A and B are shown apart, each in its own frame.
Chain A
């Protein structure tokens, strides 16, 4: 029967699953995965269509936790999910999900995995409850369990009284929650979320990202979430896999990103003593050995200072400097990066193409 669970699930299934494809992860960045297990493993996975190569010899290991799959549109993210669900055969190479071969055990994988597609997939004339109950039964849950799990899951994703109304009248944010609920209703061990923040406003986006984080921390379900924005995933994911043109660019722990690449944007007021407050802060920071960029070419350039945050002390330093100068701090925020910034060190041309997302 159901049992209450306060801690994330250390599913026995993980421990039974030997990590067979050792050493596939590039750069060995497995800092966040404490258990030595693999949820998804691909080995030389390729998918070629007559005209395009969607995946090109992709080898990657994904452990438990929240993993971001980042790539531009057309990078091969959705193709990879289709292969992992056992719905589309790979041209070559192999892949395992939860220790099961995608080519042979598609049905068994789909029973243990949830999938939230990128596009709309909800009929407008039924209620969220009816729809999710039906989808639970399609996953193999008996009728009573399907109803109980539906009520639970809809509550967890934040749908209350409105769940009895037809879906046609829902906002985009509510529809995204229903889509998420149908992916979680059968209590999978892993969910694939394809662009779950698409079309949401900033508040909805943050709520969705918080919910995704909870799927792992509270529900104990591993997550593979795709996005074309690296910035929004860095705070949600434990691990980020970046693909471009079907090739693996980088697979590493997000700790690397947050420690090395977090850019802090600050904006200050001017005062009588310091008619150009921005310049005063820049000089003061410079005097303390912190280099800043003016973010030239970006909106609001000249009023905004960009600096690289190296941890808590940077925030404290900014606060102290601004307070000492007697200025007002208008904003201090983390800037979201675009994928291209990953190439900051290696590829200068790509850096030029970098655009800061809001």
Chain B
């Protein structure tokens, strides 16, 4: 006994005290807070923040490449004391469409296919949020991420233009038009991409499918427009064919309403009346992809 006692006392002193289970009586912030948490987690995830180093590489690289031309243009404009920027604000996204497509193709499946593949979705739905909350948070997060990607270079151009002491009124108007355009573009592209990505739990398939839809539709529309331009005079077919690919839709809308010059062959953009149809199609696609996403997750359930 005499030998055991000090040993026992020592053990008592070095023991890690199990303080037992503690209940939680603090606030429970409910559904809206849970939605915001999902939104911020998804938005950070779209740039690889809070994830592995490997998953940061692509989004960060694309962001840098997206902004680099804007920096160069600003540098040239300041150095040469040019009267205007070499590129309109509204043209920038059209010019960089391949990069934007690549980004959204990589991040949309990252956002939704993972949850489907690892069956994490039921865990979300066993919490206070509802199906629509999940869809809204994911949609808003990807659209915000895309907006950051597409608006950042415009901001660089605008700040650069002001530094170069270009005409303030003209630049501000162009910048505002560009912002509206990229906002529409972000909503449209993320809606379509999320819808495609949400149909498959395989990330690879999702990426391939999004790229395919974006590039094939654009290639087809360009081909049709090219032919229509050759048989010139057929400008109606040329304009209307623009309805069938996301990027030409945005091009059409901004040509009609946002003072952009069209990238369609021969610069023949839609008129204001035709532009209304373009705008309605864009809004319809955004609403449609949201609606279909909600339907998709109603079924995914537990």
Contact = CB atoms under 8 A, between A and B. Distances in A.
A252 interface: no
A139 B23 contact: no
Given A110-B126, A134-B41, A140 B33 contact: yes
B4 interface: no
Given A125-B51, A140-B34, A2 B125 contact: no
A120 B122 CA distance: 10
Contacts of B30: 107, 111, 140
Interface string A4-40: 1110010000000000000000000000000000000
Interface in B21-41: 21-31, 33-34, 37-38, 41
A149 B22 CA distance: 9
A3 B302 contact: no
Indicate the member of B52, B118, B124 with the most A CB atoms within 10 Å: B118
Contact of B29 (A106, A141, A149): A141
Given A87-B301, A120-B118, A4 B50 contact: no
B118 A140 contact: no
B34 A138 contact: yes
B58 interface: no
Indicate the member of B26, B30, B51 with the most A CB atoms within 10 Å: B26
Contacts of B128: 107-108, 110-111, 138-140
Give the secondary structure class of B's interface: loop
A3 B126 contact: no
Contacts of A108: 128
A219 interface: yes
Contacts of A115: 122-123, 126
B20 A218 contact: yes
B11 interface: no
B23 A2 contact: yes
A90 interface: no
A311 to B, nearest CB: 32
A3 B301 contact: no
A88 interface: yes
Nearest to B122: A117
A135 interface: yes
B123 to A, nearest CB: 5
Contact of B126 (A6, A87, A141): A87
Indicate the member of B25, B51, B126 with the most A CB atoms within 10 Å: B126
A152 interface: yes
A140 B29 contact: yes
B127 interface: yes
A107 B24 contact: no
Given A87-B302, A142-B26, A5 B126 contact: no
Give the secondary structure class of A's interface: loop
A124 interface: yes
Contacts of B20: 4-6, 218
A85 B302 CA distance: 10
Contacts of A270: none
Interface residues of B, number: 38
A85 B130 CA distance: 12
Interface in A191-232: 218-220
Contact of A141 (B21, B26, B119, B124): B26
Nearest to A117: B122
Given A111-B128, A121-B123, A125-B52, A5 B302 contact: no
A130 B50 contact: yes
A126 interface: yes
A123 B124 CA distance: 13
Nearest to B27: A142
Nearest to B125: A87
B302 A220 contact: no
A125 B37 CA distance: 19
Nearest to A126: B51
A3 B37 contact: no
A5 B119 contact: no
A169 B228 CA distance: 57
A46 interface: no
A135 B127 CA distance: 9
A319 interface: no
A187 B37 contact: no
Given A125-B52, A140-B29, A141-B28, A135 B123 contact: yes
B19 interface: yes
18 contacts: A2-B22, A2-B23, A2-B24, A2-B26, A4-B22, A5-B23, A87-B126, A117-B119, A122-B120, A135-B123, A135-B127, A137-B33, A138-B127, A139-B28, A139-B128, A152-B22, A219-B23, A220-B21
